[in-house]
Structure formats: structure tokens, C-alpha cells
């Protein structure tokens, strides 16, 4: 299933031709390859959420073209043509538990597949499977989603998106506000799903450690413009550039730089995770020579 | 979203902007009352002059006022047509069943149209030049006498100002939930009436739930910050009645007197 | 001197069967920064709400700054405490920044002339004076929390309670809030009680209390608590980077010290290790 996403010279302006006019995306040309785990980083107001809303046609570009798989979105694309697209692109919005509304957990998870043409029974079967995927106990399924804890509600909302069985999964800070245990479990679950189902994942995050740990492709936005893209090691290779744009290094990278400064040793490539940092330290220590981690 | 503010307040520094909101609120009501004294073309000319003068003094774009009329245009036309076809007197030009087109009918229609436009212009001027919060403050001050009959004036005005403060927040929230549900395959504003009503449920339920949660959080936060009812609080925001406000009132009173003279009793 | 003293506290929510707190005791020293950690549902928020008198205990005694908490004294107790809650939007009462800071002052019936001074000082203190006439929709989460802090600073309390106040903020917002708190704690010697999952926030504390099921399961200096490494996740705290690195180094068959090391400590230790070679 080829579901690459390509932005070609995309501009987006909010409330055009009014005193409140505001350009949110400026000449964005970007590619999110099929099967990639792409991190989208940038500060508040960099245009991340506007970018996301273009991925399933919630917004259409003011000018430019977006390809999502075979679908083409232009300023002229009609709403009717976007239904098909929305089936394939699941978006987990920030604090997605705000979207829960059904009487029971199972009904809420089954909501999207029903909307996209599945029968009641089919939708419920999918919903049960997805509840299991996100680690919800069976006994919770017949409860009202509003009786659950915050962490459980988050899982219900995520299951509700997974139930669309999307090929592209878009995650907007999916772990914000969770405790560390919940955060780890959910990020690991997305990683597993991506590998099992060969999804394309787009992750918006402020956690550079997560970028280093999970992503294989990074797009950096600043004030509506794309200022960099590449692999995490390419993006994090220039500490000065990061400082200039108020972006942080992953903790392992920061530590590695301090280590280099203090000891005079040099790492072959800047380690970005504690695993690769430990490996490189070990090889420096044992081999004395410089090896790739 | 988020940038849309209630009442379309346009910040500025004109004479009208700087007026005490109490004065503006009183004069707006006063104006609506005295409009009904006008019953000849001279008095309407006078009222239009007053309105246009006020708009010029406020130095806001005239387009805002035209926009203010637009959503009400059908109501206005309907009322005007009723006036035209159902009032009689003077020369009758045309008659069909209960309808008749008379000289007085046409004149009355024109007057009704002028009244609508004047009222809309003046109230638009109030909301364009006065922050919603200032209007709430003015209401509190003007309702003060009601305290004597045990109306909880402080509480009402705090309630009003909190409601105003949360309008943009709730609009943001609505946009977010709509986006989330559209992503789950809901089509808002499409299909049969039944389908459209059904589409509202996934929007309204989350909105209610989040509003209740907000209200609970807010109540806790207010209590933690020492809020124990309206009595005995001091006020941070104050408004001063200035010479400009007295002058404004004087102008309106003069207009009233002239209107009384012009009126055909 | 103890600024907060909790003795034999018992509490349960009306709709629940089990006790949230049973015979609970805790003393907090004046000027101390205490971090309370624990997984969600361990009773952290309930505890600080009890201290502020927002919830009433079934039995037991809570004393704040020498005042015994009773229905009569609750407003006096609250005047000693400033609380910042998790959601920046849901505690912003005023229509704009300066109004919000003034809200607490209005409640305390501070004369207007005094209010004008205090609002300005408090806003300058948190770096938000230039935003005085901004509505909350035009502020970021971090800015809103700074306004909440200004509202507290203006009231000159003795204790600041942070109830996961930084958990919904981005890293920059979190930093700016923590910086202000550090200053209040170090310069003005305000007592800080912070509920958090964030290791950077917890590492500011002089003392960490770990709650589980309404009981104190650990009460120690941060270094001792942080040395638990990966198992910290289970008690609701993100393990410090140095601990994560230690675990990976062990996998590489490198011997590491048992005690907790800060980032700088870890670099120093590695340097010594390398120079021995």
C-alpha cells in the first residue's frame, strides 16, 4: 500500500482578506515516505497543527498540492472527495479523550468504523480487538467512558482511532499529561503497531528523547516554514544550529557533548539514545579506538 | 479560531472608545427609546445625522456597520413589507384581497426601515467601541439599586464576566472537537435533517462534559484564591465619568428636545 | 519549625468505600521544597486539597503556619497558601492578565491603590507585565501559569502548592515556571510543595515523599530516591538520565557506582574511569 505523503509548495492562510489574516504555512514542500516514522517538531505557533490538519483534508491548502497516496488535495478539492481520504488517515489529537461521547466504551471505539461503512457487528468486532491492542480490560468495555480514569480514557480515544484501521497514523503529542508509566506504555504500543501493520506514523512532539528513540525521519517547522528535514542524526548533528532555533538535543546527546568537553574524547557520531551512548563509551573504554555505536 | 472575539470589539482610542461604558450603555438605550418619537422625515434626518456623527467620532471602518445589518436583512425586509402592504391611508395605488399599497404604507415602510438601520448602527457602535467586560461592568453599576431588593448583583456580574472570558475558550474547544469527530467520519452540515441532528450529539456531549469539568476546576481554583461571595470585595477595574460623557448626554438630550418639537402630535 | 503538620488524618470521598487516607501523618518544614510523587490515583492531589481546606477530613488535625484548620479558620489558612493547578485554562478567572492577578486581591479586599502596585510588581516579577491587557486566548500555557503565579505572589503567601502545574506545558514553558519557583524558594524562602512526575522539577526538592494508596512509602532526600533507577517509573517518576545510562552501561559490563549521580557527577565519574586506563 503506497501511502506516501507529499506536500508541494503548500501555503495556508487563516481568514484570508480580513484584518485577522494570518499565514500559517509558507511554501512547504515536504515528503513523508511510506512506512516511515516521521517526527514533526517546532515550537507553539510553528504551524504544526495546521500541517496536521492538511493530512486528512480538515484544511485544504490556500495554494499548492498535497498527495496522500493516490489522493490529491488542492484548494479546489470538494468535501465529498475527502471522505475516502479520512478513512486512511487516523489522527489522534492532543488530549483526545475530549472526543469521547458514547454511552459505553465499546460503542465509542466502534463509532468511526460505523461512520466509514462497517456494519454494527463488524465495527464491534474491530472495537474489541483494538481495546485489546491498547490494553483495556474487557470489563471496562460496557462502562461509560466518563467513569474511567484519565489514562484509561486516553486509551479508549486512541483505540477509537485505531479502529478506523488507518494506513497513516498521526499522533499529536499523544502522551501529554500522562504519568511516566503510561507514557512509556503508549509510545511502545505505537512502535509495536507500526512494525506489525507497516503503518506510516507522523508524531508531533516536544520530547527530543522520543524523536531520537522512535523516529527515522524528522521535519522541523518554524513560523510556518520548513527549516530542516532529515534523519534524527542529521537534524541533531549541529548543536549550534539547534541552539539558534531554540531546539533541545536528546538528553543522551547533551550528555555526550559534556563528556567530550570534559574528557577530550570524541565520539564517532553523536549518540542520541542512552543505548548508543553506553555502547560508544564501552568501545572507547575497551577498544580505545573509535567505533560506531 | 481563537482570534474571534465576542461582540466584535475593535480596540481604539477615539472619544467614543474612551467614554464611560455606563454612559454608552445608557445612551444606547435612550436612543432606542427616542427613535419612536420620530414620525416625520426631518426627525429621521436628525437621527441619522446624530448616528453618522457618532460613527465618525469613533473612527471605525464603516464596513463593520453594513456587516451588522446583513444578517438581519430578511427580518427587516419582512417587517417593512408587512408595513407597506397592511397599513392604509392616503392615496391607494393598488389593491388585492387584504393587501393594499397606499401612500401611507410606503411612508411607514420607509420609516420602519430607517428605525431598524438606526438601532443596528447604534448598537453596533456600542459593541465595536466597548469591550464586553466593560459592558458587564456597566451593567453591574446600573443594576446596583436592585441590591436593595436582594438581587445578587455582584454575583451576576462576575458570572457574566467569567462567561465572557470563556466564550473564546469554548469556541476553540468546539473547533477542536469538530475536527476530531470529522476525522472519525462525521459530516457536519450535510445530509438530511435527521442525519444533521444525529451529527450534533458527538459534538454536544463532549462540550457539555468539558464545560462541567472546567466549571468544577474553576470553582476549586476560585475557592483556593479566596473567593467567598461578592460581598466585601474591592474592585480593580474602575470607570470614571468624564466631561466627555456629560457632553455626550447633553447632545442626546438636545436631540430629544428637538425631536419633541419636530413631532407631529 | 514545621509550617504544615498533619496528624492522624483520615479521609474518604463520599462516593467511595475505601479510605483514601487512614491515620496519615506528615510534617513539612518552613522554607522546604517538598516533592510529592506517586502514580495517578495515589492520593497526591487529595492530600494538598486537604491541606488547603478544599476538602474536609473525617478526623485528624491539620495545622498550617500555626493555625489549626477548622471550618472557621479555613480562610485564614488559605491566605497562607497559593495553589497552581494542572490546567492553565481552568484557573484563569479574569478577562485579561491584570484582572486575573487582581482577582485574589479583590477577594482579600485590598484597597485599589495598593492593588495597582501589587499587580504590577507581581507581573513584572514573572515577566508578564507587557502582556497586562492580553486575554487568556492569546497566551501560551506557560504564560498562563506564570500569570497564575503572579496572582499568588501578589497575595504574599508562605506556601506555594504546585498540583502538576507544569505537566501540560511545553519544555520552555516548564522551564520558565520552574525558574520562578526556584527563586521564590531560594530568595523569599517560600515553602514549596510540588506534585510532579517530572524529574527536573523533583530534583529541585530538598525532600521527596512517595505516596502509594494514601500511604507514605518513602520519605528521603532526592538522591536516595533517584538511585532506584528504572523502577522509579512504577512510582510515577521519570527516571533521571544518569540512572538510565547506568543501566545501559551495566549491560556493556561496565561497573557503575550504586549511589545516585547527577549529570555532572556522572561525567566526572566517567572521566576518572577513563583516566585510570
Query: How confident is the prediction along chain C (277 residues), in pLDDT tens digits per residue?
Result: 899 999 999 999 988 888 899 999 999 999 999 999 998 888 999 999 999 999 999 999 999 999 999 999 999 999 999 999 999 999 999 989 999 999 999 999 999 999 999 999 999 999 999 999 898 988 999 999 999 999 999 999 999 999 999 999 988 899 999 999 999 999 999 999 999 999 889 999 999 999 999 999 999 999 999 998 888 888 888 899 999 999 999 999 999 998 999 999 999 999 988 887 7
Alpha helices in A68-206 (DSSP H): 83-88, 105-115, 120-133, 150-162, 180-197
Structure confidence at residue B5 as a pLDDT band (50, 70, 90): very low
pLDDT reading at B131 higher than 90: no
- In whole angstroms, give the CA distance from residue C79 to residue B226: 7
* First vs last C-alpha separation in chain A: 33
Interface of A with C in 177-206 (CB under 8 A): 177, 179-184, 206
The SS3 call for residue C229 is helix
Secondary structure of A197-220 as H, E, C letters:
HCCEEEEECCCHHHHHHHCCEEEE
pLDDT reading at A292 higher than 80: no
pLDDT of residue A288: 58
**Which of C49, C90, C106 comes nearest B235 by C-beta?**
C106
pTM of the entire structure?
0.86
Query: Which chain A residues have a beta carbon less than 8 Å from that of C236?
Result: 179-181
**Which of C107, C116, C136 comes nearest B225 by C-beta?**
C107
Q: Cβ A86–B186 below 8 Å, yes or no?
A: no
Query: Which chain A residues have a beta carbon less than 8 Å from that of B201?
Result: 101
pLDDT reading at A248 higher than 70: yes
Do residues A24 and A223 touch, judged by C-beta distance below 8 A? no
pLDDT of residue B3: 36
Least confident of A77-81, A231-235, B241-245, C41-45: A77-81
pLDDT reading at B81 higher than 70: yes
Query: Which chain A residues have a beta carbon less than 8 Å from that of B172?
Result: none
Give the minimum alpha-carbon distance from B187 to chain A in angstroms, rounded to a whole number. 9
pLDDT of residue A19: 67
- In whole angstroms, give the CA distance from residue A67 to residue A86: 13
Q: Where are the domains of chain A?
A: 1-77+167-247, 100-165, 249-287
Give me the CATH topology for the region C2-233: Rossmann fold (3.40.50)
CA nearest to C201, candidates C259, C160, C257, C247? C160
Q: Specify the CATH number of the domain A1-77+167-247.
A: 3.40.50.300
Extract the C-alpha cell encoding C172. Answer: 520552555
- In whole angstroms, give the CA distance from residue A111 to residue A90: 13
Tell me the average pLDDT across B221-229: 93
pLDDT of residue A290: 46
Do residues C242 and C228 touch, judged by C-beta distance below 8 A? no
Tell me the average pLDDT across B241-245: 90
The SS3 call for residue A238 is coil
Q: Where are the domains of chain C?
A: 2-233, 240-276
pLDDT reading at B9 higher than 90: no
Structure confidence at residue B221 as a pLDDT band (50, 70, 90): very high
Do residues B202 and B186 touch, judged by C-beta distance below 8 A? yes
pLDDT of residue A141: 96
Give the minimum alpha-carbon distance from B236 to chain C in angstroms, rounded to a whole number. 6
Q: Does A150 touch chain C (CB under 8 A)?
A: yes
Alpha helices in chain C (DSSP H): 44-51, 74-80, 97-107, 112-125, 141-153, 171-186, 199-202, 222-226, 241-251, 263-276
Of A152 and A177, the structure prediction assigns the larger pLDDT to: A152
pLDDT > 70 fraction of chain A, expressed in percent and rounded: 96
**Average pLDDT score, chain A:** 92
Which helix (DSSP H) or strand (DSSP E) does residue C64 occupy? Answer: strand C59-64
DSSP B8: G
For residues B46, B47, B53, B54, the Cα torsion angle rounded to the nearest 10 degrees is: 150
pLDDT of residue B4: 37
Q: Does A255 touch chain B (CB under 8 A)?
A: no
pLDDT reading at A289 higher than 70: no
* First vs last C-alpha separation in chain B: 52
Task: Map grid coordinates 461512520 to a residue.
Answer: A115
Q: Does A50 touch chain B (CB under 8 A)?
A: no
- In whole angstroms, give the CA distance from residue C148 to residue C145: 5
What separation in angstroms does the CA of C46 have from each of A180, B214, C9, C194?
20, 18, 12, 13
Amino acid at each position: 500500500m503506497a501511502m506516501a505523503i507529499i506536500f508541494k509548495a503548500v501555503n495556508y492562510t487563516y481568514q484570508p482578506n480580513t484584518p485577522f489574516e494570518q499565514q500559517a504555512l509558507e511554501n512547504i514542500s515536504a515528503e513523508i515516505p511510506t512506512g516511515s516514522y516521521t517526527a514533526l517538531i517546532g515550537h507553539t505557533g510553528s504551524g504544526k497543527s495546521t500541517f496536521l490538519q492538511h493530512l486528512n483534508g480538515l484544511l485544504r491548502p490556500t495554494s499548492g498540492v498535497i498527495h496522500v497516496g493516490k489522493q490529491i488535495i488542492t484548494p479546489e478539492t470538494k468535501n465529498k472527495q475527502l471522505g475516502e481520504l479520512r478513512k486512511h488517515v487516523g489522527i489522534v489529537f492532543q488530549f483526545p479523550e475530549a472526543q469521547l461521547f458514547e454511552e459505553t466504551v465499546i460503542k465509542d471505539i466502534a463509532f468511526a468504523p460505523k461512520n466509514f461503512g462497517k456494519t454494527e457487528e463488524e465495527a464491534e468486532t474491530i472495537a474489541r480487538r483494538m481495546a485489546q491492542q491498547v490494553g483495556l480490560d474487557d470489563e471496562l468495555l460496557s462502562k461509560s467512558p466518563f467513569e474511567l480514569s484519565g489514562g484509561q480514557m486516553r486509551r479508549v480515544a486512541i483505540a477509537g482511532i485505531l479502529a478506523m484501521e488507518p494506513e497513516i497514523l498521526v499522533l499529536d503529542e499523544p502522551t501529554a499529561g500522562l504519568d511516566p508509566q503510561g507514557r512509556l506504555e503508549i509510545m511502545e504500543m505505537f512502535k509495536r503497531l507500526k512494525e506489525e501493520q507497516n503503518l506510516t506514523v507522523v508524531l508531533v512532539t516536544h520530547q527530543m528523547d522520543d524523536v531520537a528513540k522512535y523516529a527515522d525521519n524528522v521535519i522541523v517547522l518554524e513560523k510556518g516554514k520548513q527549516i530542516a528535514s532529515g534523519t534524527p542524526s542529521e537534524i541533531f548533528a549541529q548543536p549550534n544550529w539547534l541552539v539558534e532555533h531554540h531546539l533541545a538535543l536528546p538528553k543522551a546527546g547533551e550528555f555526550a557533548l559534556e563528556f567530550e568537553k570534559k574528557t577530550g574524547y570524541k565520539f564517532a557520531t553523536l549518540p542520541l539514545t542512552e543505548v548508543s551512548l553506553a555502547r560508544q563509551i564501552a568501545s572507547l573504554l575497551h577498544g580505545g579506538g573509535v567505533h560506531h555505536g | 479560531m481563537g482570534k474571534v472575539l465576542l461582540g466584535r470589539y475593535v480596540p481604539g482610542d477615539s472619544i467614543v472608545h474612551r467614554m464611560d461604558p455606563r454612559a454608552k450603555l445608557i445612551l444606547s438605550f435612550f436612543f432606542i427609546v427616542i427613535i419612536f418619537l420620530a414620525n416625520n422625515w426631518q426627525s429621521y434626518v436628525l437621527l441619522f445625522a446624530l448616528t453618522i456623527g457618532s460613527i465618525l467620532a469613533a473612527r471605525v471602518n464603516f464596513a463593520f456597520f453594513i456587516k451588522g445589518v446583513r444578517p438581519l436583512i430578511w427580518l427587516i425586509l419582512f417587517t417593512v413589507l408587512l408595513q407597506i402592504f397592511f397599513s392604509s391611508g392616503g392615496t391607494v395605488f393598488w389593491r388585492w384581497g387584504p393587501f393594499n399599497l397606499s401612500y401611507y404604507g410606503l411612508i411607514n415602510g420607509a420609516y420602519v426601515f430607517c428605525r431598524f438601520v438606526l438601532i443596528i448602527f447604534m448598537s453596533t457602535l456600542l459593541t465595536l467601541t466597548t469591550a464586553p467586560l466593560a459592558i458587564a461592568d456597566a451593567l453591574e453599576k446600573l443594576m446596583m439599586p436592585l441590591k436593595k431588593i436582594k438581587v445578587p448583583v455582584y454575583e451576576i456580574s462576575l458570572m457574566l464576566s467569567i462567561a465572557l472570558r470563556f466564550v473564546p475558550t469554548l469556541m476553540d474547544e468546539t473547533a477542536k472537537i469538530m475536527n476530531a469527530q470529522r476525522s472519525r467520519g462525521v459530516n457536519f452540515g450535510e445530509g438530511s435533517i435527521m442525519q444533521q441532528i444525529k451529527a450534533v450529539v458527538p459534538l454536544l456531549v463532549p462540550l457539555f462534559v468539558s464545560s462541567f469539568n472546567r466549571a468544577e476546576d474553576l470553582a476549586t481554583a476560585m475557592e483556593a484564591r479566596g473567593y467567598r461571595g461578592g460581598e466585601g470585595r474591592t474592585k480593580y477595574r474602575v470607570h470614571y465619568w468624564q466631561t466627555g460623557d456629560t457632553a455626550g448626554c447633553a447632545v442626546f438630550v438636545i436631540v430629544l428636545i428637538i425631536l419633541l418639537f419636530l413631532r407631529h402630535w | 519549625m514545621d509550617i504544615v503538620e498533619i496528624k492522624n488524618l483520615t479521609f474518604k470521598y463520599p462516593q467511595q468505600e475505601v479510605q483514601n487516607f487512614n491515620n496519615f501523618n506528615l510534617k513539612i518544614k518552613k522554607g522546604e521544597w517538598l516533592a510529592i510523587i506517586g502514580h495517578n490515583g495515589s492520593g497526591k492531589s487529595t492530600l494538598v486539597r486537604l491541606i488547603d481546606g478544599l476538602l474536609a477530613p473525617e478526623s485528624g488535625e491539620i495545622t498550617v503556619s500555626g493555625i489549626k484548620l477548622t471550618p472557621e479558620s479555613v480562610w485564614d489558612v488559605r491566605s497562607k497558601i497559593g495553589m497552581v493547578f494542572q490546567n492553565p485554562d481552568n484557573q484563569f478567572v479574569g478577562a485579561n492578565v491584570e484582572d486575573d492577578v487582581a482577582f485574589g486581591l479583590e477577594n482579600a479586599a485590598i484597597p485599589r491603590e495598593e492593588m495597582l502596585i501589587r499587580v504590577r510588581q507581581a507581573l513584572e516579577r514573572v515577566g508578564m507585565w507587557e502582556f497586562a491587557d492580553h486575554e487568556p486566548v492569546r497566551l501560551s500555557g506557560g504564560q498562563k501559569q506564570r500569570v497564575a503565579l503572579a496572582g499568588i505572589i501578589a497575595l504574599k503567601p508562605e506556601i506555594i502548592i504546585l498540583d502538576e502545574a507544569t505537566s501540560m506545558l511545553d519544555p520552555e514553558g516548564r522551564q520558565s515556571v520552574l525558574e520562578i519557583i526556584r527563586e521564590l524558594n531560594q530568595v523569599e524562602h517560600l515553602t514549596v510543595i510540588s506534585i510532579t512526575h517530572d524529574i527536573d522539577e523533583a530534583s529541585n526538592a530538598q525532600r521527596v515523599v512517595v505516596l502509594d494508596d494514601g500511604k507514605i512509602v518513602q520519605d528521603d532526600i532526592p538522591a536516595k530516591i533517584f538511585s532506584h533507577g528504572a523502577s522509579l517509573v512504577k512510582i510515577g517518576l521519570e527516571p533521571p538520565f544518569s540512572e538510565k545510562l547506568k543501566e545501559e552501561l551495566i549491560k556493556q559490563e561496565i561497573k557503575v557506582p550504586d549511589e545516585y549521580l547527577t549529570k555532572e557527577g556522572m561525567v566526572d565519574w566517567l572521566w576518572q574511569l577513563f583516566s585510570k586506563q
